[in-house]
A and B are shown apart, each in its own frame.
Chain A
Amino acid sequence: MATRQTQFLARALLTPAVGLLFIWMIVPLALTIYFSTLHYSLLDPGSESFVGLENFRYFLTDPAFLASLQNTLLLVGSVLALTILLGIPLALLMDQPVIGRNFVRLMVIAPFFVMPTVSALVWKNLLMHPVSGLFAWLASLFGLTPIDWFNDVPLFAVILIVTWQWLPFATLILLTALQSLDEEQKEAAEMDGASAISTFIYITLPHLARPITVVILIETIFLLTVFAEIFVTTGGGPGLQTTNIAFLIYSQALIQFDVGSASAGGLVAVVIANIVAFFLVRIVGRNLEA
């Protein structure tokens, strides 16, 4: 297999694919880097000029940057915590033999298939609307003042929506992991006199360590770039209360028409994502080692 001819052949055959992938990735990156060094306003085409790292200075010293960085981390952290803390009990429940189990599973997984824009609209207009929303109606049943979600607790409202979308994913991954837990191990624990809670703590939870890691890593990738939910519901406001990095870059590029600064922001976002990934892999990645 590993003769010189087959190695050469393998490399030769792989080259087009690797080359295409390389170009696919490197062209946008190179362009972004190039744009990030230009003064490039869409309102003033043709006036592009090289400004060095000025765009980065502008983006990083913008008070909106720190606020949006904080929002991003808060959003990612809260959604991760909520999806896992709710996903584990949900998965445990769905692992029980009940009538209509397949239907229940389908229903629980359904939110994952709803487009972010659609689910955000549903939450905004049907559930969280302070006048005509379901939550407002529920509150009025008990004589409470309805919460104006997107004004009073905007970031929390966004966190709720995103959690609702990602909970099925976490539940599904954890459920499949639960189903692969050896039945004899649970029986052995039962013979050893472990209560249901002890079995959960000593047998089930360690078994779930790896799928929880997978959920954290995959969700982080997507949660760093949450955009549609914010765009549809709050538009980043009020003020900067729900602006995350992704939304900030969007507003630089397409609200302020500043391509240079948006590109710089994009590169900053890449660096932040890598920093987060580095720490994540350090913290939870060892669970992935067999």
Chain B
Amino acid sequence: MGQITLQGVQKSFGPVHIIKGADLDIADGSFVVFVGPSGCGKTTLLRLIAGLEDVTGGSILIDGKNVVDTPPAKRGLSMVFQSYALYPHMSVRGNIGFGLKMAGLPKDEINRKVEAAAATLNLTPYLDRKPRELSGGQRQRVAIGRAIVREPKGFLFDEPLSNLDAALRVQMRIEVTRLQKQLGTTAIYVTHDQVEAMTMADKIVVLNAGKIEQYGSPLELYERPANLFVAGFIGSPKMNFVTGELAQQQGAATIGVRPEHLKIERDGAGGWVGTIAVAEHLGSDTFLYVDAGPLGMLTARYVGELSLHAGDRVSLVPDPARIHRFDQSGAALRN
């Protein structure tokens, strides 16, 4: 069991309000990703749940029990740190088994559990090595091993993949997701990378300046962003925003269209006309950065190869069903 509920959680460091009241309901077994720009409070929120920081106000319930006054180890959660925080002078076996040793388990039981965890993570050949003798990906797995061996109610991940190179990150992303599904344990995962958020999460929490902007499944956030911030943050490349007269015609202060929902036509086909400033040909995709005069720079994405180059004039036709409308305050307008 691992149902985690936040009720009006607040955190201030002196006069600075980091978390301005967070309400959240995380279902047992789900994979929830906290995502947001740096300084938005996502790591602080995770540390509040872990118990490494004390809340200023509100309550945190784990399986219905308020844990704000419970020390971290008693909350039944385990954490994977950004720097891995492995104990450098202990072997892999010692690292993974440390929590069990502190809990006072008998030696043979610790060994059995450590070996089972190591087998799950393909760490068995490295059990007697020291962390410094391991590669980045292996250290990462030891950190995860340390978390799973205690059979916690929930995993907390604090940007665990940010120290890995791009290829390894993709691989570990898949491994972590698969492991979580296999164990069925609730997981909270903090990242600033919206691709990680979209690919791993059952549900995403978008945080900005200490506030939860939106909470929902990845596709919900993609298709129905609640406001300008979420619309701009989720999706890559970023959504195009157009203000002014064009938006007013649609009854909105701002309208947004994702690059993949702009149809690229030769000049003269109507829509928004501009000159290509940069064309990126990836083979699988073509990204066009179009200088559309008064509308500013627009990004368009085409799946496949499109033989257009910088300097060509194109017109971009937005898909009318995929136009997002936002009011003056930035909140989304629903039809």
Contact = CB atoms under 8 A, between A and B. Distances in A.
Contacts of A194: 73, 98, 102
Interface stretch (B78-86, B179-187, B196-204): B78-86
Interface string B58-90: 000000000000011110011101110111111
Nearest to A190: B72
B16 interface: no
A48 interface: no
Interface string B272-304: 000000000000000000000000000000000
B85 A192 contact: no
Contacts of A207: 88-89
A187 B86 CA distance: 11
A206 B87 CA distance: 9
Contact of B98 (A187, A192, A195): A192
B321 interface: no
A188 B144 CA distance: 12
A102 interface: no
Interface residues of B, number: 24
A182 B89 CA distance: 13
Interface in B97-128: 98-99, 102-103
B81 A187 contact: yes
Given A185-B87, A202-B87, A203-B87, A191 B98 contact: no
B146 interface: yes
A189 interface: yes
B226 interface: no
A193 interface: yes
A207 B87 CA distance: 9
B83 A192 contact: no
B52 interface: yes
A262 B232 CA distance: 84
Contacts of A191: 50, 52, 72-73, 77-79, 99
Contacts of B82: 184
A198 interface: yes
Instruction: Count chain A CB atoms within 10 A of each CB in B86, B90, B102 and give the residue with the most.
Output: B102
Nearest to A187: B52
A202 B102 CA distance: 10
Given A188-B146, A193-B103, A194-B98, 7 more contacts: A182-B85, A184-B81, A191-B50, A191-B52, A192-B146, A202-B87, A203-B87
